Structure 1
Amino acid sequence: MGGILGYPSNQLYEEVACIASEFHWSLEEILNLEHSDRRRWVMEVGRLRE
């Protein structure tokens, strides 16, 4: 099976959706980010939406 071991797929989908909707980056660009970088971008999007 593919995927990242120990990383909930629902969380990954939420991160991708959040980043893609805000910045219009491709799926490939988002998935190529390190986990910590992806989480940071999600936090930044949250701040923008406050």
Structure 2
Amino acid sequence: MTYATDRLYEEIAYLAYHFHWPLDQLLDLEHAERLRYVAQAARLSGR
């Protein structure tokens, strides 16, 4: 199963915006790890 390209771009943009990580590092993240960082960024931005 292929992960939706739009969703991948959304997650990458979200993490880049919040953590300012370079694109190559974001693309190297495994799916589950990336989702954990997305969840963490969401919690941090809610503070």
Please give the TM-score of this superposition, normalised by the length of structure 1: 0.84
> What is the number of equivalent residue pairs in this alignment?
46
Q: Secondary structure at the match of 2:8?
A: helix
Structure 1 residue ranges, 4+ long, deviating more than 3 angstroms after superposition? none
Describe the superposition over 1:3-49 as per-residue Cα deviations: whole angstroms up to 9, x where unpaired: xx510011100110011011111110000011100010000011011
Q: Which runs of 5+ in 2 are unaligned?
A: none
Q: Aligned residues: percent identity?
A: 43
Which sections of structure 1, spanning at least 5 residues, go unmatched?
A: none
RMSD: 0.9
The normalised TM-score by structure 2 is 0.89
Q: Specify the alignment match of 1:11 in structure 2.
A: 7
More helix by share: 2
Q: Secondary structure at the match of 2:25?
A: helix
Q: Which one-letter code corresponds to 2:3 in the other structure?
A: Y
